[in-house]
Amino acid sequence: MIIRCALIGSGTRNDSFRIDLPTYESVTTNETTGRAFVNVADVDVPADVQAFVAAYPTYDLVTPLPVPFPASLANAWAEHLARQYDLGNARWHPAVF
């Protein structure tokens, strides 16, 4: 599933831009906007996040989402990844942006 996510990092040598996900297949980034298109395995994306992405499709890395990505979905996605990868206290915090 292609999802537009927020980049993290400052873009420096010690803190490069990256996607806050444990795994993904490919990425297209725009460091200026802080966004990236990421190909994420469906098993790593909970159904409610998939529904949000389907309801609010994005076609570029510039145009803002018509509605903000709800914090409840971000938290649910982080919890899903923690269970999926048995992370204990480690957490990824991906966000549709």
Confidence class of residue 84 from pLDDT cuts 50, 70 and 90? confident
Q: If you average pLDDT over residues 63-84, what whole number do you get?
A: 90
The pLDDT of residue 52 is above 90: yes
Q: If you average pLDDT over residues 44-73, what whole number do you get?
A: 93
Confidence class of residue 70 from pLDDT cuts 50, 70 and 90? very high
Q: What is the pTM of this model?
A: 0.83
Asked if 94 contacts 74 with a C-beta cutoff of 8 angstroms, the reply is yes
Q: For the chain, count helices (H), then strands (E).
A: 2, 4
Each residue of 4-40: b (16+ CB within 10 Å) or e?
bbbbbeeeeeeeebebbbeebeebebeeebbbbbbeb
Alpha-carbon torsion 5, 39, 18, 85, what sign? Answer: positive
The pLDDT of residue 88 is above 80: no
